[in-house]
Amino acid sequence: MKAVNFLALIGVLAIVAGLGTATFFFGGFFNVAASDPDPAFVNWSLIQVRKTSIARHAVDRPPAGLFNDPAMVKAGGLAYAKAGCTYCHGEPGVEPATFSGGLNPPPDLRAVVTDLRPGEIFWVIKNGIKMTAMPSFGADNPPMRDKNIWAIVAFLKKLSSVSDKNFKAWSTAPPGKYQAPGCGPGVAPGCGPGRG
């Protein structure tokens, strides 16, 4: 009899906790403003969901020799700049736009790029992340080509060693100077520097 009463108590507590949680989130008590920091548990939960989802879905593998090809890293720097990534993320010698300070979570690539596998970075760039400001460049019209996304991945994986001077030179290169292999001006929509 005591075991039945104990299980009934657990069931009642679970129902009360579920109703309380539903009331908190669906009753408008949870503040969705980007200016309001998330409670620690919510922040931890969102990070865990994001990490596990990316790890599960990121199945693409980088092309052979991607990170040993200086031309690919340079093409990635150009594509990164032309796609507008610097507005939110900044990068060597380039401060992000002031509006990026209000993004939640803050888009600090240097804090995360070393922890992500190349396939995970590729997946994030191509697909974006819901409920953040990270767009899907694979959903652009026209979509960014995989070759350019891989070039950006190569650039990001070498980010810690890219100087301000090099990034400035790469990001202001004339069309066609730094292209992902197989891409060139006018080759195909989404294949030229940046988005095309």
Q: What is the pTM of this model?
A: 0.77
Domain-located, residue 102: yes
Predicted local confidence at residue 27, as pLDDT: 92
SS3 94: strand
Predicted local confidence at residue 17, as pLDDT: 94
Domain-located, residue 129: yes
Domain-located, residue 156: yes
Taking the alpha carbons at both ends of the chain, their separation in whole angstroms is: 72
SS3 91: strand
Residue 67 DSSP label: G
Domain-located, residue 53: no
Give mean pLDDT in consecutive 10-residue pieces for the chain, a chain of 196 residues. 85 94 89 85 90 95 88 93 91 87 81 91 95 89 92 93 89 60 45 40
Predicted local confidence at residue 31, as pLDDT: 87
Give how far Cα 66 sits from Cα of 9, 40, 85, Å: 59, 38, 20
Domain-located, residue 143: yes
Domain-located, residue 153: yes
Domain-located, residue 41: no
* Strand partners of residue 91: 94
Domain-located, residue 141: yes
Number of domains, the chain: 1
Q: For position 150, which CATH number holds?
A: 1.10.760.10
Q: Is the Cβ–Cβ distance between 68 and 160 less than 8 Å?
A: no
Predicted local confidence at residue 191, as pLDDT: 43
Q: Residue 159's domain spans which residues? A: 62-171
Distance CA 80, CA 77 (A): 5
